[in-house]
Amino acid sequence: MVMEEQKSGFSKRKLRIFAGLFLALLVICTLAGNTLRSMSLPKVYTQPASKGSVAHEYEGSATVQPGQTLDIANPAGWKVKKVLVKQGDKVSAGQKLIEYDDSEWKLQLDDMQTNLKKQQLSMDQLQANYIAAVTEGSESALAEAKIAIESAKLDIASQKQHILSLQKSMTEGQSVSAPFTGVVIQVNASAGTAPGLGPELVLANSAKGNEIRLQVPGDVAGLLEIGEVLDQITLSDKSNRQLSGTIVSIDDGESGGEGIMPANAGDDSNNTSSLPSSVTISLKDDNLKGGDRVEVKIAKTSEEQTVTVPNEAVHHDERGAFVFTLEGREGPLGNAYYAVETPVKIADSNAYVTSIAEGLFEQQEVIVNSTGFLLDGTRVRR
Amino acid sequence: MSRDGAVAGLFLAPSLIGFSVFYLIPFVLGFYQSFTDGAIGGQLVGFRNYADLLHSASFRKAAGNTMLFTAVGVPLLIILSMTLAILLNRSLYLRSWLRTSFMLPLVVPVASVVTVWQVFFDWNGTLNAWLHELGMARVDWMQSNWSMSIVVVMYVWKNIGYDMILLLAGLQSIPKDYYETASLEGAGRFRQFRHITVIYLTPTLFFVLLISIINSFKVFRETYLLAGDYPYDRLYMLQHYMNNMFFELDVQKLTAAATLMVGCIVMLTSGLLRAERRFRENSE
Amino acid sequence: MNNRPSLTGLALSMLFAIFAAAMLFPIGLTLVSSLMSEAEISQNYDLIGKMVDTADGGKDAFVNLKLLPDWLTIQQYAQVLILSPKFLSMFWNSVGLVGPIVVGQIVVGSLAAYAFAKLRFPGRDKLFFVYLMTMLMPFQVTLVPNYLVIDKLGLMNHSSAIILPGIFGAFGVFMMRQFMAHIPYALTEAAKIDGAGQLTIFWRVVLPLAKPGLAALAVLLFVDYWNMIEQPLIFLQDSVKQPLSLYLAQINQSARGVGFAASSLYMAPMVLLFLYAESYFVEGIQHSGIKG
């Protein structure tokens, strides 16, 4: 009797089918869960924000230039008689470099000396006149003779002066010598030519060494200091010799940008740092010659350790820079992950990494790449 | 007989071993622990744990609530399911559908309808919305003495099907000619009910009473899911007390309370069984 | 009894239909709400658990009981089944806990039940009374001792901590004994006279006759253990191993919309099983009530 009444409103066959479908659905969802999830959620690749510094690198080549050069001019404007050195010669201080033709002036000197002798001879005559005047006792003749002698004396003294000065300028003008030890880097003069407009000869001062000048990008230049020693300088010849050099000057590039762009400081510093600066490095090496090519490598890391992320993780929009961080929420359905837009302040960056001044903390998961378009709050899977 | 006993031992062995390990021995251990102090090694302290327990306000509150709940919920459940069974014990439209509906709550897991209860009994819930419509003030169902009635409702909802089935079976086992004879003799409906239905249903009723009491202990799941570890005072039952004692590692109080509860249940059950036996002997 | 329903019967039917609708209402509301969008759920039910300041004009704020979704969506189901693996893994956890318990308790229970029902041995009724009492105890009663035993056996935080006590539960013994007690002695005696051993009688005679009982027990056990909360709460701290019942206990507070879908999926196996095996279910309950 009990059994008779069990006819429920549901047919067993339908129920069995329904239960089968239900079970099948659950099994499929279990087995294909990952596939289904991947179809509906963008997969993200993350990397923890790590403590580090941004390495800035610069590579360039430059030509070695002398540290100090001296143009040597023709001292007297005479014709060149003989050039004693040639380009590249090493000269020591005082060494004669060019001899000049002084023959014209020798003739003049001879004339003057002859004149002097004539004047001295006429002096004898005047003295004889004077003695005669004394013996004659003629007052007027005596006075006249006295003046004549005085005048002749002055003439002689003057002539002597002229001769001396001429002699002096002849010794000065007939040659020119090196004022310091150095290298002849340019010779313009040649024997027999008349003096030109430019320097006869250019001399480099060995004591002052050589230098190179580089156009270094602002981000790197900002990390350099005057007096700093760089040692990744390679001579680009067969020897590949390593040199070291000292920074002697850094001329910042146009830095007017700071005034024009009043945007936030992060962006600002980012922009100005890209302007190149001219950096001069002095090289102390005796074997260097002007004109040698050197390869220069500068690798600098900013000193303070900050949180860094790969550049791909950093996005920009009109509100500034931001990154997507991965936020796991212990949801009722297990961990659910969301992309969260996190505004950041960029402190520094190079070709690979960006260091973040504000907005991120260490080990925070930052989304580097994703298979789908991300917005703030987009649900993702790792 | 002795051979039977040996075979019985074999049949019983798997169950008896497991039963001993997981139920019997633990219980005996617990019983022993309820007489010791908390130290390792356990000095026997006689009834001190029981004295402590009975002095504990929260235990008394919990025991009182449990008794109140049982005293209110169980009779209500039996009366309702009895009414239902008697009314359903006749031909009706959609009878099997109706019976199915009344039984369905029995299989629905507690956890899956907790949200619905929340929707109804929350401060901002539907029940208060209805009260508001009727122009009455809100009642904080879960945080007042009303909370007990909420649990009674859940208890009735869940168990009415079970009791109804038991009572239906009892009703259907009463021979129909008793009623026919009675109506031939001119007995009215009410007399039939009093003198036939009640009498013949009493053995079933004893069992229904027992099962209802036992099921009333299971209402802890509902209250736990709805109100957590520490519900409103009115809802704080013995099970909450024991659960919390467990998490507070107060083994002594817990085992003492457990022993007391077991004692009560054993006395209740054997009392009911004895009463039933006496009733049956009297009626025969 | 088998005559057509009378007019009062019709009226009664309608009354009952209303009552039945009320009984089904929580289930129906869960199912309906599971088809609403998350936005709709939070719009309707966000006020739950919030104290609205009534002095501040919040007097009229109530949750909005909604019986029909604005538009149907399976968004919540997709969320539960596809977008998060946790629900399904806990679902199979539940299956993995309940399955062995049901099978184990049926095997162990029917063996012991045979001894109680068909064999005579000293102390039988007393032992059965002990089983009966254990069956009636709330879980909390044996909490500490059970904890100590499981700890001693090294089963803590292991699914065996739930499964083993489940297998040896007293309910299976009790129920199968009630069933087997109704199998006439004549049958077993006849088999005995034919020279069958007790195992043969058990296997060939009693068990086939107790099949409806086995089915009923399976259904009842399934329902009971599918619903367990206390045991895993204490013995399975590792959330990876926890069954669905605990998951739902967590979810209801945090994500109501998803909770409705998960609840529906959680009750679905039970409801389907019940509708399919309702007769066994009823029979099982009735037999548990009949004194042997």
Nearest to C86 among A18, A19, A333 (CB): A333
Query: Is the per-residue pLDDT at A259 higher than 50?
Result: no
Decide the pairing of beta strands A365-370 and A44-48. Answer: antiparallel
Among the partner-chain residues B97, B169, B172, the one whose CB lies closest to the CB of A9 is: B97
Comparing CB atoms, the residue among B93, B176, B266 nearest residue C133 is B266
Of A249-253, A297-301, B39-43, B170-174, the poorest mean pLDDT is in: B39-43
Q: How confident is the model at residue A215 (pLDDT cuts 50, 70, 90)?
A: confident
**CB-based contact C142 B258, cutoff 8 Å:** yes
- In terms of CA atoms, which chain A residue is nearest residue C276? A12
> Cβ A6–C282 below 8 Å, yes or no?
yes
How near does any CA of chain B get to the CA of A2, in Å?
8
> With a cut of 50, which residues of chain B have pLDDT below it?
1
**H or E segment at A157?**
helix A139-173
Q: Which residues of C touch A331 (CB under 8 A)?
A: 84, 254-255
Query: Which of A333, A338, A378 is the mutation pick for testing C, counting most C CBs within 10 A?
Result: A333
Q: Which residues of chain C have pLDDT under 70?
A: 1-5, 49-60, 250-254, 288-292
How far is the C-alpha of C5 from the C-alpha of C7, rounded, in Å? 7
pLDDT above 70: residue A262: no
Pairing of strands A50-52, A69-72: unpaired
Average pLDDT over residues A159-166: 87
Q: How far apart are CA A237 and CA A240, in angstroms?
A: 6
Alpha-carbon distance B229 to nearest alpha carbon in chain C (angstroms): 12
SS3 state of residue A100: strand
Instruction: Give kind and range of the element (H or E) at residue B280.
Output: helix B251-283
| C-alpha to C-alpha distances, C101 to C98, C164, C169, C212, C224, nearest whole angstrom | 5, 7, 9, 19, 11
Are the C-beta atoms of B30 and B255 separated by less than 8 Å? yes
**Chain B environment of C109 (Cβ under 8 Å):** 15
Is C78 at the interface with chain B, CB within 8 A? no
CB contact under 8 A, A6 and B96: yes
- Determine contact: B96 vs chain A, CB below 8 A: yes
* Other Cβ atoms within 10 Å of A27 Cβ, number: 12
Nearest to C278 among A6, A22, A331 (CB): A6
Quickly list H helices, B20-56: 25-33, 48-55
pLDDT of residue A265: 38
The pLDDT of residue C112: 92
pLDDT at C1: 43
pLDDT tens profile B125-167? 888 888 888 888 778 787 788 888 888 998 999 999 888 888 8
Nearest CA in chain B to A6: B96
Establish if B112 touches chain A: CB-CB under 8 angstroms: no
Mean pLDDT across chain A, nearest whole number?
77
- Domain C78-287 CATH assignment equals 2.40.50.100: no
Q: Do B100 and A6 touch (CB under 8 A)?
A: no
- Closest partner residue to B96 (CB to CB) among A1, A2, A9 is A9
Q: Distance (Å, rounded) from C-alpha A285 to C-alpha C163?
A: 86
Sheet holding A175-177, edge to edge: A80-83, A96-100, A175-177
pLDDT at A272 over 90: no
Each residue's pLDDT tens digit, A68-78: 777 877 777 77
Distance (Å, whole) CA C229 – CA B112: 12
- Contact list in C for residue A3 (CB cut-off 8 A) is 279, 283
Q: Where are the beta strands (DSSP E) in chain C?
A: none
pLDDT of residue C98: 93
Give burial (CB, 10 Å; 0-12/13-18/19+) of A255.
exposed
Which pair of structure tokens corresponds to residue C272? Answer: 């389907």
**Residue of A8, A40, A334 with shortest CB distance to C278:** A8
A332 with C247: Cβ contact below 8 A? yes
pLDDT of A197 over the 70 cut: no
At residue A274, the pLDDT reads: 59
Buried b (16+ CB within 10 A) or exposed e, A181-210: ebbbbbbbbeeeeebeeebbbbbbbbeebb
Tell me the nearest-neighbour CA distance from C80 into chain B, angstroms: 14
pTM above threshold 0.90: no
Residue B32 in contact with partner chain A when CB distance is under 8 A: no
Q: CB B12 to CB C115 under 8 A?
A: yes
Question: What is the C-alpha separation between A343 and A360, in angstroms, rounded?
Answer: 9
Among B108, B216, B237, B220, smallest CA distance to B163 is for B216
DSSP code, position C5? P
Instruction: Test C278 with B26 for CB contact under 8 angstroms.
Output: no
What sections of A32-61 are H helices per DSSP?
33-40
Q: How many residues does chain B have?
A: 284
Set out the domains of chain B in order of their start, with CATH numbers.
49-283 (1.10.3720.10)
pLDDT of residue A5: 42
What is the reported pLDDT for B77? 94
Q: How confident is the model at residue A271 (pLDDT cuts 50, 70, 90)?
A: very low
